[in-house]
Amino acid sequence: MRERLPRLLIATRNRDKLEEIRSILGDSSQDFVSLLDFPELEEIVESGATLEENAFIKARTAFEKTGIPSIGDDTGLEVDVLGGRPGVYSSRYAGEKATYSQNVDKLLREMEGVPARKRRARFRCVAAVAGPGFEKSVDGVCEGIILETRRGDGGFGYDPVFFVSETGRTFAEMSLADKNAISHRGRAFRAMAELVKKLSI
């Protein structure tokens, strides 16, 4: 029988994100825990200017507080016509306590009247791991366009308006398995899983 590997901590309390990550890494023998298992820890402030900085802030802080090798990630939606916004502010685009719906509403208001050919965007995810004597990061990108109205009931965040041309569907119209197969987070965390194996965590 294969020896069980040490634990990894996924540095998030976002249940939607955690569900996706666990689905992506589900065939791993790692014993994953998350910040939900450490309610006593203070919220980690994402003060970085880039996705990579925020990913490392979360990974380093979680490792320092728990002693468990930790993976942090940050994701941004980059819209060309908006100069790359909302980017690092994607989760709080409409305010610090904004809901998914409020963020989407703001995005659609800002893009009102923009023709389809100029609605190109991409999701970018950077995942970082920090542990005893090592720090590494990987990233994943998925290209798409922003629709004028929402489509689909699945997913979370900007998924109902992020349309992936080669599939003919928004993320919100895909099953979790289909989304993970092509998504920015799926690509980043599959690369992270390979990195973790090489690091022998």
pLDDT of residue 75: 95
| Two tokens, residue 133 | 């004597």
Cα gap 145→162, rounded to integer Å: 6
Going from N- to C-terminal start, the domains of the chain cover 7-199
SS3 state of residue 76: strand
Over the stretch 129-177, which tens digit does the pLDDT of each residue have? 999 989 999 999 999 999 999 999 999 999 999 999 999 999 999 999 9
Residues near 201 by beta carbon (within 8 Å), at least 6 away in sequence = 5, 6, 8, 30, 69, 129, 131
Active-site positions? Answer: 74
According to CATH, what is the number of the domain 7-199?
3.90.950.10
E-strand ranges in 11-133 read 31-34, 70-79, 86-87, 120-131
| Two tokens, residue 134 | 């090592």
pLDDT per position in the chain (201 positions), as tens?
334 445 889 999 999 888 888 888 776 646 788 999 999 999 898 899 999 999 999 999 999 999 999 999 999 999 999 999 999 999 999 998 999 999 999 999 999 999 999 999 999 999 999 999 899 999 999 999 999 999 999 999 999 999 999 999 999 999 999 999 999 999 999 999 888 888 776
- Upper half-sphere CA count for residue 99 (Cβ side, 13 Å): 3
Cα gap 36→14, rounded to integer Å: 9
What pTM does this model have? 0.88
